[in-house]
């Protein structure tokens, strides 16, 4: 478990009363620091060249922050032309939530965890790799990877019918239960995937 210097998470979450966007300047600072800490691990499922200037992020009253960084090479044409070989969407970072898979929180041994120092306190964050590929049935899927070469979860990555956008990645979300929620990942304005997440026990 690595250490990451102050990520400003406490300051961001202290004012968050509902799911909302992380201010761009804060998201950029977080993106720069976590990317520097992660480096290029030998056990990564695939290579990612994260664009730290174009992060998307959400926060909530759970004392929760989620930040996504797109791969610099990601384009709408790549999404349209992908085959069964996994392409890189980018990185995803979570604080205080983990993927909710098969009715349970993802176990810690499957997570790529880091420790951060924030106002003299240690905070744990998890880093994930996001990939995309065609399924056996030919539909587009988003894959979320923890520590293993195999993904933790695959979810549909579907066209929304909305207008295209130059923004490579945007995060949204909604609460689903007392501890559970749905992370909404939108690529270029009109491709969307939903990932179930769960927070710590209250």
At residue 28, φ and ψ (nearest 5 deg) are -65, -40
| Residues contacting residue 160 through CB under 8 Å, at least 6 positions apart | 186, 190, 191, 192
Burial 100-124 (b: 16+ CB within 10 A, else e): bbeeebbeeebbbebebebeeeebe
**Count of structural domains, the chain:** 1
Q: DSSP state, 63? A: T
Helix ranges (H only) for the chain are 9-13, 24-38, 76-81
Whole-number mean pLDDT of the chain? Answer: 87
Contact (CB, 8 A) for 95 and 6: no
CB 188 within 8 A of CB 175: no
Q: What would the pLDDT profile of 72-100 be if each residue is shown by its tens digit?
A: 999 999 999 999 999 999 999 999 999 99
- Rounded-to-5 percentages of helix, strand, coil across the chain: 15, 45, 40
Return d(Cα 127, Cα 141) in angstroms, integer: 20
Higher pLDDT: 5 or 164? It is 164
DSSP 66-100: EEEEEBTT--HHHHHH--SS-EEEEEEEEES-EEE
Radius of gyration of the chain (CA): 16
Confidence tier at 38 by pLDDT (50, 70, 90): confident
**pLDDT digit string (tens) for 126-176?**
999 999 999 999 999 999 999 999 999 999 999 998 899 999 999 999 989
CA distance 157 to 193: 5
Does residue 6 carry a pLDDT above 60?
no
Other C-beta atoms within 10 Å of 173: how many? 22
Neighbours of 86 (CB within 10 A): 19
* Containing structural domain, residue 174: 2-198
């Amino acid at each position: 478990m690595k250490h990451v210097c102050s990520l400003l998470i406490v300051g961001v979450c202290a004012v968050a009363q509902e799911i909302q966007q992380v201010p761009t300047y804060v998201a950029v600072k977080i993106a720069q620091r976590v990317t520097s800490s992660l480096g290029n691990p030998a056990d990564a499922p695939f290579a990612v060249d994260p664009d730290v200037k174009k992060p998307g992020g959400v926060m909530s009253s759970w004392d929760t922050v989620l930040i996504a960084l797109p791969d610099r090479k990601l384009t709408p044409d790549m999404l349209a032309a992908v085959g069964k070989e996994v392409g890189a969407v980018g990185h995803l970072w979570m604080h205080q939530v983990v993927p909710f898979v098969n009715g349970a929180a993802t176990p810690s041994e499957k997570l790529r965890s880091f420790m951060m120092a924030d106002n003299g306190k240690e905070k744990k964050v998890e880093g994930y790799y996001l990939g995309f590929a065609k399924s056996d049935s030919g539909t587009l899927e988003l894959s979320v990877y923890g520590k293993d070469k195999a993904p933790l979860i695959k979810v549909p990555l579907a066209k929304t019918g909305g207008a295209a956008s130059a923004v490579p990645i945007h995060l949204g979300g909604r609460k689903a239960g007392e501890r559970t929620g749905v992370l909404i990942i939108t690529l270029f304005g009109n491709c969307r995937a939903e990932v179930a997440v769960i927070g710590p026990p209250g």
